């Protein structure tokens, strides 16, 4: 007897092939049979002609930052996501510094980003120790991990802007090697954030060469997604080529109106690279990050207390304003790209009434100049504030989404109880299937599901994921293609999605009628070294 049978399904198997009608049988967490099934099962689901697809893969998520306080990850399951690739943008809980002074920098920096610091963090001085611990936790979704370059650098050098010495580089290589030997899928960088902003191409190439020994991938939040976008893409491809690794451009975009249209040249660079290069995107014209990241590089190298002291000194304001609105090469300035009315606060640790308002609106309410209001938000929240920035073109988003080498990710930061977030944390995958497949007809349903499943599974080497085939893991989404849609927006991002009938993870039903059931059947996924 089977554990589960799904009857009367319209199967889109993830390969890009046309849909076909069949039943699916599951046994011991694996797809056991596909076809006309007349046997019995402990549980039977009538799909009623709805689409059955492989569980969706979020190729760019940040659940690792919040897994200890929100292990259910219902916000992902409610999108049909059963697998997430974490450790993105060079940020994450591990490796943490063994040295107490550096650990305090680590804790202060993550705290300023709004990420909770866990008591266990001091134990995660190696990435292997971190993954071992995560395997003891019941998780709501499957999780795969990248080694965050920023944390590797911080563990060895703190927030120092200096080039690493030969000894320091060897220590960083050792941390990367440990991560790769213990199942990391590669190295991620966040070159807009400290301490990643201080790293040069030689450092990143040297670390990626270690990744290359294990057949891993380099994925990068580019140094600049605005004025220097094309140079930043070229840098990423060069690093990957010289290190003999595959590359991915994280949350691909052109930020700032002056740069709209450059994504066509980015796609050309990706397709003409003589190494495998992919990219991912979310289906929104606004990005989101920490307000701290809007400050120039010379400030980001300081500990949080020194940054606040600098911002509080009015003698520094003229120079600071000039640095932000006349950005130096390599500094992507969100305030310059979006303007005061284009940065909306979604998180503020202290000044909660600023949430949901633009900096311009905050300024008007406080009867301040906008630049003064911006500084006040940073200072009063002890840097722990986040923004949504409206900097992108809808035409660019559609151009990127329709590229055959483009995958999808949420880039979402959300845990249960947060009053506000970017709507991508809740609605990314239903939005793609509802708005861009059904309403806009940008891509076909089969192609969208391929981009959500087999395409990332093959590129990242996620064994058992990405297709509905006998022998594959029973991660399955049953959805209504005529109803599926996100319902949240930037003012009300927490509204539930519609149209996801069931989600099955590793053979267990974890969502019914758009509501997560609270089951934790996810697993830590570890990469297999090349050749094994």
pLDDT digits (tens, 9 = 90+) for 239-280: 999 999 999 999 999 999 999 999 999 999 999 999 999 999
CATH topology of domain 57-289+392-457: TIM Barrel (3.20.20)
Give CA–CA dist 251/89, Å, rounded. 10
The average pLDDT across 345-355 equals 93
The average pLDDT across 204-221 equals 98
Give CA–CA dist 35/2, Å, rounded. 14
Judge if 2-54+466-517 and 57-289+392-457 fold alike in CATH terms: no
Which residues neighbour 290 within 8 Å (Cβ) at sequence distance 6 or greater?
Answer: 112, 113, 114, 193, 383, 385, 386, 387
State residue 530's pLDDT score. Answer: 56
Domain ranges of the chain: 2-54+466-517, 57-289+392-457, 292-389
Report yes or no: 502 and 512 within 8 Å, Cβ to Cβ. Answer: yes
Report yes or no: 460 and 185 within 8 Å, Cβ to Cβ. Answer: yes
**Tens-place pLDDT, residues 273-319:** 999 999 999 999 999 989 999 999 999 888 889 999 999 999 999 99
Report yes or no: 289 and 191 within 8 Å, Cβ to Cβ. Answer: no
The average pLDDT across 212-219 equals 97
Give CA–CA dist 353/364, Å, rounded. 13
Report yes or no: 36 and 22 within 8 Å, Cβ to Cβ. Answer: yes
State residue 106's pLDDT score. Answer: 86
Q: What's the per-residue H, E or C state across 431-491?
A: HHHHHHHHHCCCCCHHHHHHHHCHHHHHHHCCCCCCCCCCCCECCEEEECCCCCECCCCCC
Among 2.30.40.10, 3.40.50.720, 3.40.50.300, 3.50.50.60, what is the CATH number of 2-54+466-517? 2.30.40.10
What's the pTM?
0.95
**Tens-place pLDDT, residues 6-21:** 999 999 999 999 999 9
Any idea which residue has 């292997």 for tokens?
Answer: 128
Report yes or no: 29 and 40 within 8 Å, Cβ to Cβ. Answer: no
């Amino acid at each position: 007897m089977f554990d589960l049978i799904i009857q009367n399904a319209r199967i889109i198997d993830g390969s890009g092939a046309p849909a076909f009608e069949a039943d699916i049988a599951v046994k011991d967490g694996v797809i056991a049979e596909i076809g006309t099934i007349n046997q019995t099962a402990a549980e039977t689901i009538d799909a009623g002609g709805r689409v059955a697809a492989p569980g969706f893969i979020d190729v760019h998520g940040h659940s690792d930052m919040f897994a200890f306080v929100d292990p259910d990850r219902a916000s992902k399951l409610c999108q049909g996501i059963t697998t997430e690739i974490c450790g993105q943008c060079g940020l994450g809980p591990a490796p943490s510094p063994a040295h107490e002074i550096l650990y305090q920098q680590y804790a202060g920096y993550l705290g300023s980003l709004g990420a909770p610091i866990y008591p266990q963090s001091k134990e995660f001085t190696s990435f292997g120790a971190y993954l071992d611990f995560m395997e003891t936790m019941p998780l709501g979704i499957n999780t795969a991990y990248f080694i965050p370059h920023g944390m590797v650098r911080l563990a060895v050098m703190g927030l120092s802007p200096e080039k690493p010495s030969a000894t320091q580089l060897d220590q960083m290589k050792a941390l990367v090697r440990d991560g790769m030997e213990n199942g990391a899928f590669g190295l991620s960088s966040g070159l807009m954030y400290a301490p990643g902003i201080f790293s040069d191409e030689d450092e990143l190439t040297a670390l990626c060469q270690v990744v290359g020994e294990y057949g891993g991938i380099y994925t990068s939040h580019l140094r600049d997604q605005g004025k220097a976008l094309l140079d930043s893409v070229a840098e990423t491809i060069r690093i990957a080529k010289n290190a003999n690794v595959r590359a991915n451009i994280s949350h691909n975009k052109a930020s700032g109106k002056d740069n709209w249209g450059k994504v066509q040249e980015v796609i050309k660079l990706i397709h003409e690279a003589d190494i495998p290069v992919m990219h991912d995107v979310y289906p929104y014209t606004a990005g989101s990050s920490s307000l701290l990241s809007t400050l120039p590089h010379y400030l980001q190298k300081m500990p949080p207390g020194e940054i606040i002291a600098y911002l509080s000194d009015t003698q520094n304001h003229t120079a600071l304003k000039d640095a932000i609105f006349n950005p130096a090469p390599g500094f992507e300035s969100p305030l310059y790209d979006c303007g005061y009315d284009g940065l909306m606060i979604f998180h503020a640790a202290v000044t909660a009434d600023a949430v949901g308002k633009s900096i311009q609106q905050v300024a008007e309410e406080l009867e301040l100049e906008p630049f003064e209001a911006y500084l006040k938000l940073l200072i009063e929240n002890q840097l722990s504030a986040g923004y949504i920035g409206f900097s992108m073109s809808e035409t660019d988003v559609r151009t990127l989404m329709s590229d055959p080498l483009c995958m999808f990710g949420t880039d979402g930061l959300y845990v249960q109880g947060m009053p506000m977030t970017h709507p991508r944390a809740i609605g990314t995958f239903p939005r793609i299937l509802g708005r861009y497949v059904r309403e806009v007809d940008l891509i076909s349903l089969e192609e969208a599901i391929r981009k959500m499943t087999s395409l990332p599974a093959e590129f990242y080497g996620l064994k058992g994921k990405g297709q509905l085939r006998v022998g594959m893991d029973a991660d399955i989404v049953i959805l209504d293609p005529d109803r599926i849609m996100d319902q949240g927006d930037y003012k009300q991002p927490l509204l539930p999605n519609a149209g996801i009938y069931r989600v099955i993870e590793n053979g267990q039903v974890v969502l019914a009628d758009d509501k997560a059931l609270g089951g934790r059947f996810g697993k830590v996924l570890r990469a297999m070294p090349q050749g094994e």
